[in-house]
Amino acid sequence: MWVFLNDAFLSIVQPPGPGRDLLVRARFRLDIETIFPRAKVTETPARDYRYRATISREAVANAMADEVRRIAYGNFKGSVGDRKRHDDYLKVWGVMNAAQQRDHSDKKAKGGKGKRGVPGERDPGFWDF
């Protein structure tokens, strides 16, 4: 799951194997530390997300719920205080806006039922943990 907050961008996934923890990844250490101040952040320079922290699923869910409760803006992009982050988010917005313009069919997910993917459906080699 990608999570765009006005002060952090996170990628949250389940690491391989059993367990209740989630792997929270970020491009910038401060993005994890801002949302999860007690997390032990590790640096992985050779990976696509340079910073990572293993955090309990419950703590991640609680932090995301807190973020939703804090929403006090009518325009997300306008709420991003850091100019560089704002400009990067605007680029992502532009890409997704272009995708919307290309697809006017309002199609549901493959199969026509809006089905969410089941964990493990994709080739495990696809995921970067």
Rounded CA gap, 14 and 21, in Å?
A: 7
pTM surpassing 0.75? yes
Average pLDDT over residues 48-65: 98
Query: Tens digits of per-residue pLDDT, 10-23?
Result: 999 999 888 899 99
pLDDT band at 123 (very low <50, low <70, confident <90, very high): very low
Rounded CA gap, 98 and 38, in Å?
A: 38
Rounded CA gap, 49 and 27, in Å?
A: 5
User: Could you identify the residue written with the tokens 């389940």?
Assistant: 14
Ranking 83-92, 100-109, 115-124 by mean pLDDT, the lowest is: 115-124
